[in-house]
């Protein structure tokens, strides 16, 4: 039941965001950096929808909390005026990225698992999984992104380093190879800033004023893990979205990558955050 509602919420919320991204779906020959930046900003809106729902409820059981958040997301979608163009593309990439996260966490949590990945290695796993889809330069830059997430723990450290990759290092790539790097960096920057500035709000909302719960939650709530997972979802979604978009009439690789990155990141972010809350706070 837990998995169903978490999955359902992320699909509902991410579906809204994907369609938003596809409002700018005309085929163009440019690197789409500004479009990725604007799309990544929707990540914050999505997390605020979720947080507002948690703050406004007295619900304390896991099923009730996840149902509430799902209902709020669906209502938000229903009240929005959205185009249909990227419906199939976005929905498909979103669901696949959520499924990838669940399957990865299931794999590494198996007591018999003897592989190299740990519970928080979804970003590293994603890069390795897509190695055949990446040029050598793309792979090296994504590895640099992963190294940043593994080496630093504050937004003050992470954001400037990701910004340098986005605005400087990425320009050495051909325009068509920049999509996946923009997906990783724009989502990473937005996510790092959001979670660094709003973690206490999430803790206070979930703990519902209980100082003991707040103190305990500070020990285990891992916003860095969520940011890294966001980036992993953005990379997986962008690669799949670009491939699909390039063969879908009227969509294009660039808008396909934007839709896939946004859906993958938001779906994974919401899922990862709710999993942490459910597993630690909700009895």
pLDDT tens digits, 19-52: 444 544 444 446 789 988 988 887 777 778 878 8
Average pLDDT value over all residues in the chain:
77
Domain boundaries, the chain: 2-280
Biggest alpha carbon–alpha carbon distance for the chain: 55
pLDDT tens track for 156-208:
999 999 999 999 999 999 998 999 999 999 999 999 999 999 888 877 777 77
> What is the 3-class SS of 105-162, one letter each residue?
HHHHHCCCCCCCCCCCCHHHHHHHHCHHHCCHHHHHHHHHHHHHHHHCCCHHHHHHHH
Query: Which pair of structure tokens corresponds to residue 201?
Result: 């709000």
pLDDT for 209: 72
Tell me the percentage of the chain whose pLDDT exceeds 70.
70
* Phi and psi, residue 79, nearest 5°: -85, -5
Taking CA atoms, 1 is separated from 62, 142, 251, 278, in Å, by 9, 35, 36, 12
């Amino acid at each position: 039941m837990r998995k169903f509602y978490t999955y359902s919420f992320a699909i509902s919320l991410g579906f809204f965001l994907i369609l938003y991204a596809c409002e700018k779906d005309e085929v163009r020959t440019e690197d789409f950096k500004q479009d990725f930046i604007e799309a990544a900003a929707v990540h914050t809106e999505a997390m605020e929808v979720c947080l507002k729902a948690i703050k406004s409820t007295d619900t304390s059981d896991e099923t009730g909390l996840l149902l509430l958040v799902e209902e709020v997301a669906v209502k938000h979608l229903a009240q929005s005026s959205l185009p249909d163009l990227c419906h199939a593309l976005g929905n498909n990439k979103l669901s696949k990225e959520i499924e990838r996260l669940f399957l990865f966490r299931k794999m590494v949590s198996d007591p018999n698992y003897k592989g190299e990945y740990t519970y928080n290695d979804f970003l590293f796993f994603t890069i390795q999984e897509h190695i055949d889809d990446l040029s050598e330069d793309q792979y090296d830059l994504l590895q640099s992104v992963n190294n940043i997430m593994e080496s630093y723990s504050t937004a003050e450290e992470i954001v400037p380093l990701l910004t340098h990759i986005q605005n400087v290092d990425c320009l050495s790539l051909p325009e068509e190879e920049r999509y996946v790097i923009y997906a990783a960096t724009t989502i990473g920057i937005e996510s790092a800033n959001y979670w660094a500035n709003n973690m206490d709000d999430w803790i206070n909302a979930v703990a519902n004023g209980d100082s003991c719960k707040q103190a305990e939650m500070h020990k285990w709530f891992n916003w860095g893990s969520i940011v890294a997972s966001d980036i992993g979802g953005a990379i997986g979604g962008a690669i799949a979205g670009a491939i699909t978009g390039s063969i879908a009439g009227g969509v294009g690789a660039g808008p396909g990558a934007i839709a896939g990155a946004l859906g993958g990141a938001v779906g994974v972010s919401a899922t990862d955050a709710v999993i942490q809350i459910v597993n630690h706070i909700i009895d």
